[in-house]
Amino acid sequence: MAGSVHILPQAGRPDISAETLEAWLAPHKEELQKFQLWIVGIRGFFPAIGPSGQNDRNVYDDAIILRVPSLNIFAAFNGNTDPSRIYKGFGKSEQTKGMAVLKTGLWPAYRFDRHNGNQPHEAICQRAGTVTVIRDGDPPYPDTGNFGINIHRGGYTKTSSLGCQTIPPEQWDEFYYQASDAAKKLWGSAWKSKAIAYVLLENKA
């Protein structure tokens, strides 16, 4: 696991075309047609930047993409789709459960709301349904429920995640403005009540 150093890829933002992303999203195409605003996470998009040469924790080595087909919006951001640290546990109680890692798949469980972490701020939050996570343990084990696996602003010296999907602070305002502005154009005054599709993929490169 990476130390407390803010690590972003030297290559800059994720370089992926809309056509490539659509090919990767093909298994979810039918379900995605029900939603107007998509957010796509790609775990391990930059495998070489972390200490293991694979996907790492506490490193912005993933991609998060905002896609709004009807408004022709396609914007890619650096991101993190893992918790910042490893914490092994067992069971599902607050006292014993392991750290959560969101399982890949399509989760129509998000809407605009407020992330209530150490620094509360407007974000895109798991408020519209359940998700499945894989918890750290021996062995790791699945858990399904409402865990607040939000999409929010990360930190400068750590990714600031207990299982959430985070975006570096230098890119957060741009991401949130584009996403919320699109939502307002799509839904007007109801923009905070509409469900958003979040799809988490593994890097296919």
Per residue in 53-112, pLDDT (tens digit) is 788 899 999 999 999 999 999 999 999 999 999 999 999 999 999 999 999 999 999 999
Banded pLDDT at 4 (limits 50, 70, 90): very low
What's the one-letter identity of residue 177? Answer: Y
Q: What angle do CA 186, 17, 84 make, to 5 degrees?
A: 80
Split at pLDDT 50, 70, 90, the class of 47 is confident
Rg of the chain, C-alpha, whole Å: 16
pLDDT above 50: residue 205: yes
What distance in Å separates the CA atoms of residue 127 and residue 182, rounded to the nearest whole number? Answer: 19
* Kind and range of the H or E run holding 112: strand 105-115
Read off the pLDDT of each residue in 104-121 and give the average, rounded to a whole number: 92
